[in-house]
Amino acid sequence: PSGGAGRRSRAGKVTGSRTGTMLRPGAAALVSLMRAARGGRRCRDPSLCSAPPPQPVIAAKEPFPVELKAGKTYGWCACGHSKRQPFCDGAHKKEAPGLSSLRFTPARDGPALLCGCKRTRTPPYCDGSH
């Protein structure tokens, strides 16, 4: 095609921006992706050009030993910003929008090691990933 970013004609068809040549069907998504990659202003398909998801910060490089009660629901901090580690205090709403706490209810009373590094494959429990 033309090498330009592409525009919609009055008929709604995608054309090359410099030559007016018609682009293949499906090229509109590619045009949007190219525009977004160049820092352009528009992106028609957010799934193709959205920012990567936010990543949690490491709250601690070791697990948090806690005593849990069966049947009680807890909120485990998944963002790493809570001042009440390993539990959520709502800090993700300001510090890490897009992340939220993990609500869990243990099956039995007793001690548990809750992840502090936020990299566990078995949240909220520590798996040694740190």
Q: What is the pLDDT of residues 79-113, one digit of tens each?
A: 999 999 999 999 999 999 999 999 999 999 999 99
Q: How many domains does the structure of the chain reveal?
A: 2
Long-range CB contacts (within 8 A, 24+) of 44-52: none
Task: Give the model confidence (pLDDT) of 55-84 as tens digits.
Answer: 999 999 999 999 999 999 999 999 999 999
Say whether both 28 and 71 belong to one domain: no
How many C-alpha atoms does 40 have within 13 Å on its Cβ side?
A: 15
Q: Examine residue 92 and state whether it is found in any structural domain, yes or no.
A: yes
End-to-end Cα spacing for the chain: 50
The answer to the question of residue 1 being in a domain is no
Domain shared by 79 and 45, yes or no: no
62 and 118 share one domain: yes
Choice between 41 and 49, residue whose per-residue pLDDT is larger: 49
65 and 121 share a domain? yes
Q: Domain range spanning residue 117? A: 53-130
